[in-house]
Amino acid sequence: MDEEDVERRIFDLVKTYLEGESVSGLDHTLRVQRWCELIGKVEEADLHVLRVAALLHDVGVPSVGRKRHFEESALMAEKQLEEMSFPKEKIDQIVHVIRAHSRFGGPKPGTKEAKILFDADVLDSIGAVGIVRAIGRGLVEKTFSGDVDEAPQLLKKVIADSEGKFHTEEAKKIGAGYLRFIERFLERLKGELSRSSLL
């Protein structure tokens, strides 16, 4: 089975695992995979390892939630790849990449590929997409009521959780622009809220 066939089979599995998952669903997974490919080409990383790890990086979210999903996703990936007779060396690489991808726990990324997946996941949590995802996650997890007056605090947390976290130069460049976008949006929002309070 060639790399494309393997990735197609994994994609089909991931679609099943993430069915019904909103904020960390298939759309997020595919955006992260595209970021991995873009940064991976610049960094001359193993793109096959990156594509597979990106597809599988959040498969544990539906079963265990976000807190420890990196561990569950790594275990699920290991099991699936073993069943597909994936080479042991590649499985070990992919498992580390997945286990180390979260800003909220797990080991530090110890390989080029792990740093790239980490960065790709952060990139999808900032910019315009990041604002939408933060609001969606807040509503789903009931940490945001939907009250617009609470939104500045939510966006400050998005910035704090992402700023200074990037490993690769490419992600640092892209991320700086995405974070500036959130900061400008936040200033605009604060301005509109202060004007509406005068009415």
Looking at the predicted structure, is the pLDDT value of residue 144 above 70? Answer: yes
pLDDT in tens, 184-196: 999 999 999 988 7
For position 197, what pLDDT does the model report? Answer: 63
Contacts of 149 (CB under 8 A, 6+ apart): 193
Looking at the predicted structure, is the pLDDT value of residue 23 above 80? Answer: yes
Mean pLDDT of the chain: 94
Q: Which domains does the chain have, with CATH numbers?
A: 1-111 (1.10.472.50), 125-199 (no CATH)
For position 198, what pLDDT does the model report? Answer: 56
pLDDT in tens, 33-42: 999 999 999 9
Percent with pLDDT over 70 in the chain:
98
Mean pLDDT within 49-78: 92
CA nearest to 115, candidates 127, 102, 124: 102
Can you give the pTM of this predicted structure?
0.94
Mean pLDDT within 146-158: 95
Cα 39 from Cα 169, distance rounded (Å)? 9
